[in-house]
Amino acid sequence: MNAELEKSLQIFANKHPEQTETADRMLTFLRTQKNCFLRSCKPGHFTGSAWLINPGGDKILLTLHHKLQRWMQTGGHADGDAQILRVALREAEEESGIQGIESVGSDIFDIDIHLIPENKAKGEPAHYHYDVRYLVRAPHEHFIISDESDDLRWWSKEDFSTHSAELDASVTRMAERYFGK
């Protein structure tokens, strides 16, 4: 088990009671699944994501995910790394090409559990991603689109309002949490 992540999830649940049920599910998963940071954990595994803000803090970088064809935050698999903030930073840099991304504190920004469909080509059964998201800041706005993305775009508060129908509920929730309703 990971005492640091457990404590962070408990603090998050206290700050965001509307997500207590999700936090409780994550805590149970953390406590009961020995290999929860590895992709080989069949019921699911932890992932780390970044709510990546620009230097001015008025835009968020979202990626048009290649496989899922949805706009979302950068992020990915822990691959055995129990330090999920480090995972979120690594994934943000890999997916954006921006070096020098830094965390804005160590508190969890958001959490989400979502089902990933079966991938027959890879022999992967349907499973859950236990996604822990952190607020991070880019030192500049110059990105490079990686193979994992079809596009990257900086989104303003107005963009989230205008294009909310294109976004998952969890992305909309994070935009409302960050920018206010």
Report the CATH number at residue 138. Answer: 3.90.79.10
Distance, in Å, from the CA atom of 80 to the CA atom of 46, rounded to the nearest integer, reads: 9
112, 133 contact by CB (below 8 A): yes
User: Residues 63-113: pLDDT tens digits?
Assistant: 998 777 889 999 999 999 999 999 999 999 999 999 999 999 999 999 999
Q: How does pLDDT run across 37-59, given as a tens digit for each residue?
A: 999 998 999 999 999 999 999 99
Rounded Cα distance, 56 and 70, in Å: 25
Quickly tell me which residue has 């979120």 as its tokens.
88
φ, ψ (nearest 5 deg) of residue 52: -90, 110
Contact present, 64 and 71 (Cβ < 8 Å)? yes
Domain ranges, residue 85: 3-179
In the chain, the number of structural domains is 1
Indicate the pLDDT class of residue 164, thresholds 50, 70 and 90: confident
